[in-house]
Structure 1
């Protein structure tokens, strides 16, 4: 995938600027979507910026950008984008943000009576097609590999998939440019991803299996199709992420996804749990991938933002002297400590029962079983 040009994720700033309505005013002054007291007067968009990072310069909660600009659901689904060189201005008197470039190129910019630069929207703000230079919503390299990999595969999907039956010179594991011999129906495909059945993901609340995570091993390309029913196809390994060998299964490389999304809270109240940390480890940090036990059927979609909480412990109140039970080591009153909010989660892929998100702005490690719920 190319530097996230396949997943340009940016906002309808021009439309919002032209039609900033009462809903936008209300969102701007909402305590939940408040501006930072030390927010800058302006920010010039540069290469490497992200929507999340730009928003964080002005807002206490970066995911509030769509609300501040008064975006509706349709604009969120089909956003415009911003590009390097454009300027985001903070009009402190009006309590709103504006996008544009100074009249005359910056040095000769004029100002209105309140000292706010006069701005105009430029034609480079595009509304159709994918701009290679468009600013992405979140760090691109963190999720690029996951946009074209299945991640979750039906339990029986790999059973009938083409499989590697032999390797070049009998090697145990295949490396880049090695040959692999495959049996199975290829259809019209020539490029395939290689998988191995992975972990069964269990819902922390019910302990039931809700999905099967497949281990992505790499990609291979067809060199010579089988010439007879009892002959193997010849493939060459294009890339290797994990060791691959005999018995591993092939699935066609899916079309490159074209995704437009911006951060937004879920439409309905969500109270989810962390099911797994991608890669088989037990903890995650910033810019790592985790899965939650909520999916499309629960209203999860691209760009949904949840807040991460550590579940509050239940402790014995050893200070309670008003109860007979307080005098022993057993039977003391039990009290649940409040859940502790420590970060945000940006959902970038949603399946039926499970979703994957990028960990954002955490002050603690993410652990399996932690809570991910609607922003308060």
Structure 2
């Protein structure tokens, strides 16, 4: 009987769309909105939708605008309906005076970003998460033209590695390890300065490269390593927000602030990445595990407030999957959603994400899922 009911429900779901698939606009969403400098796509999406990652379903591309998936300051967005009664958002054609042969081409780089670039830029253009093997493969600072223990702007450095003459390089230091339990996934790389290569060098002949320090954030030391800097603003500013289609089970393992709790606009590190089919723009929920309760003799107590015996019962029950004993019952409470985040830089087993909204401060150890 149960299998027959399940089959009927499955067939019905194929014919009738579920409420989760319905695009619902907020009741207080503005009918018209003028895009301002400093806006982000997430901000505007949140004005109209409780689920900002469904933005593309609401936003209708205007064929008269170059790069129609982008929005620029000064654009006027109008909320309406299509021929089927579905909500749509378009650029107000009544405001833009366009001839049939003229296309609007906005100045490069002025489109509003998905997330605030002032927060993302250091991570997109400088900071990285690297495995030890990757770090070991980069040129390292041997010393300076004088016996400086720590070098600053203007000093010359000698580097073990064949650099490109005239090339611009970031000088990095290995930071703390990003760990998943006892396993090290990658290391934080800390930008300590930038330099320009004056001479390329030839390591095969024992001749080091020479660089001149141009900027410093921290004193440069022997053993720091170099990586080429991107030329110009070639980092990604817009992302296609989406919910992953595959199941995701990850954890927040670090934060950029080094704090144990953090709120919106904080950058965090996750122990999941492209190997879990995640991409830049993936939106995940942040879940908090509710505390375990041990009921003993009809009296429930939180596990951390229980006696040593009850704690032992709870721990043993977790190890062996035994929830009940003669006198005690272990209640494992569900996890609750406390926020959302969006990935903006993805590696194999690790990702950088920005916390977008929270109902209470997110924490190291919180779960992330779709």
Q: TM-score range by the shorter chain?
A: 0.7 to 0.9
- Between the two structures, name the one with larger relative contact order (CA 8 Å, sep ≥ 6): 1
- Cα deviation 1:116-152 (Å, max 9, x = unaligned): xxxx9x93277xxx83211111111111111123612
**How many angstroms does 1:198 deviate by?**
2.7
Q: Secondary structure at the match of 1:333?
A: strand
Find the partner of 1:265 among 240, 243, 246: 243
- Cα deviation 1:284-334 (Å, max 9, x = unaligned): 332222111111111110100011111222122368369xxxxx9735322
- Cα deviation 1:74-126 (Å, max 9, x = unaligned): xxxx97211122222222793412212252669xxxxxxxxxxxxx9x93277
Higher mean C-alpha deviation, range 352-361 or range 229-238: 229-238
Aligned-residue Cα RMSD (Å) equals: 3.4
Match of 1:340 in 2: 336
Find the partner of 1:82 among 64, 71, 80: 71
Q: Secondary structure at the match of 1:37?
A: coil
The 1-side partners of 2:281 and 2:341 are apart by 10
**How many angstroms does 1:53 deviate by?**
0.5
Q: Secondary structure at the match of 2:92?
A: strand
Q: How does 1:3-82 map to 2 (within 5 A)?
A: 30=20, 33-69=23-59, 80-82=69-71
Match of 1:171 in 2: 148
Aligned pair count reads 320
**How many angstroms does 1:225 deviate by?**
4.1
**How many angstroms does 1:62 deviate by?**
1.9
Is the 1:86–1:99 Cα contact (8 Å) retained in structure 2?
Answer: no
Quick check: 1:299 aligned with 2:277? yes
Quick check: 1:236 aligned with 2:225? no
Match of 1:248 in 2: 224
Q: TM-score, length-normalised on structure 2?
A: 0.75
Which runs of no fewer than 5 residues in structure 2 stay unpaired?
1-16, 62-66, 301-306, 311-326
Quick check: 1:218 aligned with 2:207? no
* Alpha-carbon spacing, 1:32–1:150, altered in 2? closer, same or farther (3 Å): farther
Match of 1:98 in 2: 89
Match of 1:9 in 2: none
* Alpha-carbon spacing, 1:227–1:68, altered in 2? closer, same or farther (3 Å): closer
The 2-side partners of 1:148 and 1:32 are apart by 38
Q: TM-score, length-normalised on structure 1?
A: 0.74
**How many angstroms does 1:264 deviate by?**
0.7
Is the 1:189–1:252 Cα contact (8 Å) retained in structure 2?
Answer: no
Structure whose CA Rg is larger: 2
The 2-side partners of 1:366 and 1:317 are apart by 28
**How many angstroms does 1:57 deviate by?**
0.9
- Cα deviation 1:182-223 (Å, max 9, x = unaligned): 23222567211112223332224xx32222332332221112
Is the 2:58–2:89 Cα contact (8 Å) retained in structure 1?
Answer: no
